[in-house]
Amino acid sequence: MNARARLLMFLFAWAALGPAVVVLILHLPRFGAHALPYGDLINDSAPRERHVTNAVSAVNFDYRGIDTLGEEFMLLCAVTGVVVLLRSKRGERVDAPAGRVEARSLRPRSDAVSGVTRVLAPVTALFGLTVALHGMTTPGGGFQGGVIVASAILMVFLGEGYRSWRKSAPSIAFDAAEGAGAVLYALCGFASLLAGLPFLTNFLPLGTLRDVFSGGLMLIENAGVTLAVAGGFTVLFGEFLEETRVETRDDES
Amino acid sequence: MNALPWAVSAGLLAIGLYGMVTSRHFVHLIGCLSVVQASTYVLLLAAGFRWNAIAPIFYSFAPGTPAVDPVVQALVLTDIVVGATVTALLLALVLELHKRRGTLDPDQLRPLNRDRKG
Amino acid sequence: MTLLLLLAAAGGTVVVLTRSPRRQVFAMAANGLILALLFETLQAPDVALAEIVVGAVALPLMFLVILASARMDRAPRRPDAGR
Amino acid sequence: MMWLSVLPPLTVVGPLVIAGLLLIASRALPRPIPDIIALATTALTFILCLLLVRHTGHQPLVYWFGGWVPRHGFPIGIGFVIDPIGALLAAFIGVLFFATLVFAWGYYDEVHAHFHVLMLLFMSGMIGFCFTHDVFNMFVWFELMSVAGFALTGYQLRTSALEGALNFTVTNAVGSYLFLAGIALIYSRVGALDFGALQRGVAAQPHDVVVISAFVLLTTALLIKAAQVPFQAWLSDAHAVAPSPVSVIFSGAMVSIGIYGIAKLAWSVFAPSAEIRHVIRVLLLAMGAFSTVIGGVMALLQRHLKRLLAFSTISHVGLLLIGVALWERRALAGVFVYFIGHGLVKGALFMVTGILLALRGSIDEIELRGRGRGIWPAGVAMAAGGLLLAGLPVGLMSGGSDFIAAGANALGQGWLLWVVILGAGCTGAAVLRSSGRVFLGLGPVAGQERHSPTEEDKEKADRPLWLMLVPTTALLVLSLVGTRFGSDVISRATLRFMQPDNAMILDGAQAIPAPALALRAPPTSYTAWVSVALALAITVFSLLHHRLPRRASRYLQPIRPMLTSLRALHSGDVRQYVMWMAVGLAAFALAFAVS
């Protein structure tokens, strides 16, 4: 089947789908004006029963906490998959980089670049942690904060070059951080079980509304997510960047 | 306006699929996949929207103020993670494929799959 | 909001129609920003933040790294040539 | 019973935690330890699931995570509702993973335990999918299962494996976004995510276009996972190239679980809508019938053994879809029996191909001709598997298909029997032909089968034969002896599956007592023997047709062009697969427009 036949067939299908979609759109509820029973229930319950102001975080970590648990392990799964795909084939022990790869990165970075990143990276990391920490009260949370922290670590890579990055941050640490974050989240659930409550029941003191440390068990879960996401995305960035090194080496030789 | 978000979402889905069907580069195809995914973000958030309501964060507004639906937002957050993980995996696959085949044009890749006699 | 919705639709179209992978990455990043703004006006600041960090920064960055590492945006080698 | 309420989170989250810990400790653990830990985890999961089967027969086990019990009948959190069918399928998944891990013992020693981590995550995703009572939570487990599958397909990093994994990932990713769109649609109408609440919402507006569209999107996503025509093509690419132990799981459980998902959503959520019931009876039935036949014919055309088995999976899962689409109690009971039976047999067959790959270094039927003589027990297993696929009237597979056939007959859909015969006959014949060629050296040197494997399809060789044969045999034996237990539990639980007790689940009312009577097993129909005879006839013909006068094969000439175009459908071009998705969606739209 060539490109044209494929396209024709596709357009044909949409000729049938188009009217259906139009009918559907006409039947959908008016945008912004329909009942939201589930959302209202949560909006009512989250500040009252969980003492957090960010209802989205409350849904993520409490009302539908098991979803986020699954999501963390999905991330773990994907990162493991990427590691298997990219790292195993490189064949080397990652924490002991091969000579030529190292040789390439010996080229000194300009001082300006590393100076800027030395200032920027900690600031970004701090920002990420702030975003993660305030997840219960204001927009943000473990996921967004974790990604920002991971990009801060990436900056260290860009500024300091490959070698010192590897030295200061062996990939095994990030693997472990990833796994530990996800496991921490799951252990929160088992802690509830040990307390004789249903899985992931929030049994810790809830704190006061609008306080950063409100939300009880959600805080620990949030920390777990931060750890898992920061570790996971760092591993992803690291693995992809590792590829650029191997490839440039090939091209130069 | 009453139907525009729905239409935008459907349009994104259609155009994303169109891009995938006609793509000539796998990286481009993955980009189109992200457009398909964007259509689900828009659809989900539109399904939880409400006019004249605040974001479901009761920090500067008192609890009880009419707010939009927090559930769909939590779902979209999960969706974003799903998208990021799948995209990362796809990129890794594509990278390895490129190393072996030297191309990412689906038309040039196909000969391997064609029938071989013998 | 109408404007942002239309922009989002246009952004998606641009992403699809930009056939060169490298330029598409920038279209994707721009599209991510538009979507984040749209989410903000849809009263979803959490999602907007996530979309900025993932859709407009992390993912385009990964795409760029991939493209750079494999140099796959250059003219493709013939599969049989050179190996 | 305090301890019973610990089981639902434990069976799903327990393996997740073990997987996480394995990943953290992967570098510290010497080689056999991850194997042992993973095996112990799967065995334990199996036992826990069996306990769940035992204790949910009386009434389903309802578990609200976070203690969020519904308020005034409206669910606020996520619930697991475990009925005997879900628990039995979960137990079956546990067995399959256990056997697979035994089979894969020592298979991967170069990468630190990553294989085990992925397998455990894979298993958790499937079990969560079987237990959940919430449509978005279902999506989460579905996606966990998919991501694990994507990663495992490309595990061996051969070029074809990468392409297969890419096709698999792209198609299934589109599928999961369709699923999400379906969730968004039904949420915009009903404003809930729990199955029970959704069903009440659907019952309130059964003719609503939005509800119907949500059904179409959700079902399409699951049909993609279940690889049914016209969404089937990714399957043969992925299953053919995945490592053999992974293919066992793919064909044995992952694909058919898509059908379970369809059945679950259909009966737990969408049943009140007459339009949807009608389209299920017509369109899904047609899709199932097409899949059964096309999968069977395509299987006959393969010489790549794994690809052959992959197509036969499409065919058999098509029968499962038929069973669901008949919308009848006996047929549905048959679906669950057949689900397990097929998974066991197909798992065993993929293990045989794994043995061939490991010991003979090839997966090409022609190249392997006669080279299997030294490992005859594998040949016996393969032939037995082929006969069971063909419908030999013993064991779970034929038990299930008898139930489905009885359902079809009761509804006056007798023509379906011929579809079943054709599908079972072709797939059985394909497997029998290969085993004849590989293990007995029969048949002409080159057949009309194409798609020869093109590269170094080799799997780790230094594993002893007995290690691989034990799980293979165990699965086959289970599929033979499981009949009594399996069909008894299932036939009793099917009624409950069809009429979820929402008053009990959401309002905490007294449970409706379980039906006392099991369905009587229908008598084995003549069809079983017809399909076995057909399989044997095709086998004999394809192995011996070079000795027949030329005239005999001339009768086959007219169907050649059809076969060629059938092959063209499975070109390996993922863009084409995406195009077929649009066509499939259009088929749904047309079906609803007509009805």
Q: Which residues are CB-neighbours of D34 under 8 A, at least 6 positions away?
A: D22, D26, D112, D113, D116
Q: Which of residues 94-153 of D touch A (CB under 8 A)?
A: 110-111, 114, 117-118, 121, 124-125, 128, 136-137, 140-141, 143-144, 147-148, 150-152
Residue D489: per-residue pLDDT: 76
**Residue A21 belongs to a domain:** no
DSSP one-letter string for D386-414:
HHHHHT-SSHHHHHHHHHHHHHHHHTT-T
* CB atoms closer than 10 angstroms to residue A101: 18
Contacts A–D by Cβ distance under 8 A:
203
Q: Residue C77's pLDDT is what?
A: 45
Asked whether the beta carbons of residue A27 and residue D141 sit closer than 8 angstroms, the reply is: no
Residue A150 lies in a domain: yes
Chain centre to alpha carbon of residue D296: 16
Q: Which CATH architecture has domain B4-113?
A: Orthogonal Bundle (1.10)
Domain range enclosing A158: 35-252
- Tell me the CA distances in angstroms from B65 to A41, A43, A50, B61, D244, one per residue in order: 13, 9, 17, 7, 57
Give me the pLDDT at residue D157, please: 67
CB contact under 8 A, B44 and D446: no
Q: Give the pLDDT of residue B113.
A: 44
pLDDT digits (tens, 9 = 90+) for B27-51: 999 999 999 999 999 999 999 999 9
What is the extent of the structural domain holding C63? 2-70
Eight-state DSSP code of residue D62:
E
User: Does residue C83 lie within any of the structural domains?
Assistant: no
Residue B115, pLDDT > 50, answer: no
Contact status of A133 with chain C (Cβ, < 8 Å): no
pLDDT at D215: 96
Instruction: Tell me which chain A residues have a C-beta less than 8 angstroms from the C-beta of D112.
Output: none
Q: Tell me the pLDDT tens digit for each residue of B15-28.
A: 999 999 999 889 99
**Which B residues 41-70 touch C at CB under 8 Å?**
41-42, 45-46, 49, 53-57, 67-68
Position D71, amino acid: R
Of B46, B71, B86, the CB nearest to D169: B86
Confidence of residue A90 (pLDDT cuts 50, 70, 90): low
Contacting subunits of A (3+ beta carbon pairs below 8 A) = B, C, D
Name the residue among D457, D443, D437, D448 with its Cα closest to residue D297.
D448
Would you kindly state where each structural domain of chain D is located, as residue ranges?
Answer: 3-269+283-442+455-499+513-594
Instruction: Return d(Cα C19, Cα C32) in angstroms, integer.
Output: 18
Residue D52 and residue D291: Cα distance in Å, rounded? 34
Q: How far apart are CA D267 and CA D500, in angstroms?
A: 8
D340: amino acid identity, one letter: I
What phi, psi does A198 have (nearest 5°)?
Answer: -60, 155
pLDDT at A93: 41
Check if A80 contacts C (Cβ < 8 Å). Answer: no
Q: Tell me which chains share at least 3 CB pairs under 8 Å with chain D.
A: A, B
Query: Which tens digit of pLDDT belongs to each residue from B58-108?
Result: 888 888 889 999 999 999 999 998 899 999 999 999 888 888 877 788 877
Q: How many domains does chain A fold into?
A: 1
d(CA D234, CA D232): 6
CA dihedral B103, B106, B109, B110 (to 10 degrees): -170
Asked if the Cβ–Cβ distance from B51 to A33 is below 8 Å, we say yes
C-alpha A98/C-alpha D278 separation (Å) is 64
B28, B43, B75: best to mutate for the C interface, most C CBs within 10 A: B28
- Give me the mean pLDDT over the C1-6 stretch: 89
Task: Test D209 with A74 for CB contact under 8 angstroms.
Answer: no
Which of the four pLDDT bands, split at 50, 70 and 90, describes residue A96?
very low
Give the mutation candidate from D23, D185, D207, D220 for the A interface (greatest A CB count, under 10 A). Answer: D23
What spatial distance separates the first Cα and last Cα of chain B, rounded to whole Å?
A: 62
CB contact under 8 A, A151 and C62: no
Does C77 contact chain B (CB < 8 Å)? yes
What is the C-alpha to C-alpha distance for residues D234 and D251, in angstroms, rounded to an integer?
A: 13
For D328, the token pair is 């009848």
pLDDT computed for residue A172 by the predictor: 77
Q: Which amino acid is at A80?
A: T
Tens of pLDDT, residue by residue over A25-74, are 999 988 888 889 999 999 999 988 988 999 999 999 999 999 999 999 99
Contacts of B115 in chain D (CB under 8 A): 450-451, 567
Range with lowest mean pLDDT among A11-20, A76-85, D127-136, D569-578? D569-578
Closest residue of C to A55, CA-based? C46
D9 touches A at CB < 8 Å: yes
Which residues 6+ apart lie within 8 Å of D33 measured at CB?
none
What pLDDT does C80 receive? 42
Alpha helices (H) along chain A: 3-27, 37-50, 55-58, 65-90, 99-105, 111-133, 142-168, 171-194, 217-252
Residue C77 is nearest to which of B42, B54, B103, comparing CB atoms?
Answer: B103
- Tell me, yes or no, whether C46 lies in a domain: yes
User: Cβ of A41 and D71 within 8 Å?
Assistant: yes
Using CA atoms, how far apart are residues D192 and C32, in angstroms rounded to an integer? 29
Of the partner residues B4, B16, B41, the one whose CB lies closest to the CB of residue C5: B4
| CB-nearest partner of B35 from C12, C42, C51 | C12
Residues of chain D with pLDDT under 50: 447-456
In-domain check, residue C39: yes
**ipTM of the shown complex:** 0.92
Decide if D400 contacts D318 (C-beta within 8 A): no
Higher-confidence residue of A169 and A247: namely: A169
Per-residue model confidence as pLDDT tens digits over C26-62:
999 999 999 999 999 999 999 999 999 998 888 998 8
Domain boundaries, chain B: 4-113
